[in-house]
Amino acid sequence: MITLQDLHPAKGSTHKAKRLGQGIGSGTGKTSGKGHKGDKSRTGGGVRPGFEGGQMPLTRRTPKRGFNNYRFAKVFQPVNLDVLEKKFEAGAEIDTEALFNARIIRKKNIPVKILANGDLSKAFKIKAGAFSAEAIKKIEAAGGTHEVA
């Protein structure tokens, strides 16, 4: 049996830290391996990623094409049928408030989409922002109803 006191790093995986600026004989004294002066020898020195010395950067000089749906995309909180099966009794009316109180969703103001993962044996009356086609089939097969709210 392994205990905490027996744990140690694999052989060769740890190295001693390089002690910089420890005198001329250490090989990393005086300038501590950073050469002489200049931006790269200073603390916080160097330029940001993508900086090309003042030349127009590649990301800005290449043409931008295509459509991005980011601003228009509808965001839903997904909820699967197997979760509803576990958390609610048969005949329950399930809406955003009920899902929030059951701690299935985190936010009330973002719409919910019911997805078809898992089986449904109980009849529920479900109000949600959206339903997958497969989820609708399973809800109706179990004797429940769905309503887009």
Position 149 scores a pLDDT of 87
CA 11/CA 105 separation, integer angstroms: 46
Digit-by-digit pLDDT tens for the chain (149 residues) are 889 999 999 999 999 999 999 999 999 999 999 999 998 999 998 999 999 999 999 999 999 999 999 999 999 999 999 999 999 999 999 999 999 999 999 999 999 999 999 999 999 999 999 999 999 999 999 999 999 98
Which domains does the chain carry? 77-148 (3.100.10.10)
Query: Residue type for 148, please?
Result: V
Q: Which residue, chain included where needed, has tokens 């744990």? A: 7
Position 43 scores a pLDDT of 92
Position 10 scores a pLDDT of 95
Indicate the pTM of the whole model.
0.58
